[in-house]
Amino acid sequence: MQRREALRLLAATAALPILSRDAFSLFREVHQQLAEAPALKTLNPHQNATVTAISELIVPQTDTPGAKAVRVNEFIDLILTEWYEGDEKARFLAGLDDVDLRSRDVFGKDFIGCSEKQQVQILSSLDEELAGIRQPMDLHREGRFAPTEKQFFYMMKRLTLVGYYTSQAGFEQELHEQIIPSSHAGCVPVEEEAAK
C-alpha cells in the first residue's frame, strides 16, 4: 500500500493553469455528450437520479463544470457493472436505499424529492458518521481505489472524485493539468505556477 503512495509521490501532481479551450465550447461539448448518453446497465432511473444528485452535491457546478456535467453517474454505473465484486455492488446499492430510508424518515419523501437544503442535511449526517470511523492513517493511504472501504458514503465520495477529476473537464478546467507540463521545477512559489 505504502509503496503505491511512494510511487505516486514520485510523480507528484502539480497544477498548471492553461485553459485549452474556452468555456463556451466546453459547455457545448458537455451538452452534446449528455444528449448521447448511453443506457445504464446497473442503475435504474430512480437510483441513477439519486446517484446523480449526490455526486453533484459533492462536486457541484461552480465556475467550472460539476459532477453531473461530466457524467460521473455513468462512471459509477460502469464500476458497479464491470469493476465491483458482487458484495461491493450490493453494499453500494443498499447504501442508496438507505439514503431514501433516511430522507423518508426525516422529511417524508425520497432523497431526490427533497430540497437541496434537506439533501445537504442527509449527506452531512452520512459524512459525519464516516468521520467517526476514519483512522488517522487513512490520509496516508494509497492513491488508487481502496476496495476494502466498506462504507457507502466513502464509496460514493471516492467514485465521484475519481470520476470527476479524471474527466477531461476535471483535469483541464478544474485542475489546470496538462499531459505535457509547460515547465518543471523542484520548489517555486505558487504565484509562479498561477501566472502561467
| Cα–Cα distance measured from residue 5 to residue 188, given in angstroms and rounded to the nearest whole number | 23
Q: Does 189 bind other proteins (CB under 8 A)?
A: yes
Task: Give exposure, 162-184, as e/b (b: 16+ Cβ within 10 Å).
Answer: bbbbebebbbbbbbbbbeeeeee
Q: Does 143 bind other proteins (CB under 8 A)?
A: yes
Which residues, in sequence order, are CB contacts of 102 under 8 Å at separation 6+?
Answer: 111, 122, 125, 126
Query: Quick one: CA dihedral 118, 119, 120, 122, positive or negative?
Result: positive
Q: Does 13 bind other proteins (CB under 8 A)?
A: yes
Number of chain residues interacting with other proteins (CB under 8 A): 69
| Residue from the set 24, 45, 105, 184 that interacts with other proteins by CB under 8 A | 184
Please name the helix (run of DSSP H) or strand (run of DSSP E) that holds residue 75, with its range, or none. helix 72-78
Please say which residue, 16 or 49, places its beta carbon nearer to other proteins.
16
Q: Does 120 bind other proteins (CB under 8 A)?
A: yes
Residues lying near other proteins in the complex (CB under 8 A) are found at 1-7, 9-16, 57-60, 62, 66, 75, 78-79, 82-83, 120, 123, 127-128, 130-131, 134, 136-141, 143-145, 147, 154, 157-158, 161-163, 165-168, 171, 174-175, 179-181, 183-191, 193
